[in-house]
Amino acid sequence: MRFAIVRFPGTWSDRDCHRVLTAVLGQQADILWHRDADLSSYDAIVLPGGFSYGDYLRTGAIARFSPVMDQVAEHANRGRPVIGICNGFQILCEAHLLPGVLIRNDSLQFRCEWVHLRAEGARSPWSSAIPAGTVLRVPISHGEGNYFADPATLDELEANGRVAFRYCDPSGAITAAANPNGSARSIAGVVNERGNVLGMMPHPERAGETVVGGVDGNRIWDSLIAAAVGATA
């Protein structure tokens, strides 16, 4: 697969994504500057983590108006895969490609730590190879990762299988203590109606090699790659 990794001013996780996709998983990937990017030849788009535009207005709110975002929306609307990680998730919400918003952690602290995620069986190529109930260990690094949406939106996400991951304890139990930021219903990641767009606060690209603490993040990339292979078989 060919991955486009979009770099905004203040992005810092682009090289982490590039390393995992190319050196670890053997895929093709390019880091593209947001003003000059042409996404037409890529199979999947990655909006990485960081502090786009310094988070000076609101996380993701300025990047949402970047020239590249029209192409991201077109790619998504064609049913092609898009992932937004951390700040990328915030950008997708600001662009209304995903519902909800990410607000300040309930602790009012920046949280940088390893957490556990429970796969919820969302209908998405990003998680189709991860059985529901599987527990992954992946790090977070954010100050505004508290997922919020009105009750009706949360109910719709639940009813239509659009919650991809929840924060949990190592056994898979959903508890308040295992929720690092106060996210509604312990939600760590959601998908759009078609399932091709995934937004998640944890960083799968930072859980791609044993030397950095674990490889569970690769299961998300591998899931997409397997789905793409299956679609062309």
100 neighbors 144 (Cβ within 8 angstroms): no
8-state DSSP, 214:
B
| Domain span including residue 211 | 2-232
Mean pLDDT of 1-19: 97
Active site residue ranges:
86, 203, 205
CATH at residue 96: 3.40.50.880
The verdict on pTM exceeding 0.85 is yes
pLDDT in tens, 180-205: 999 999 999 999 999 999 999 999 99
pLDDT in tens, 104-114: 999 999 999 99
Helix and strand totals (H; E) in the chain: 5, 11
pLDDT in tens, 128-141: 999 999 999 999 99
Number of domains observed in the structure of the chain: 1
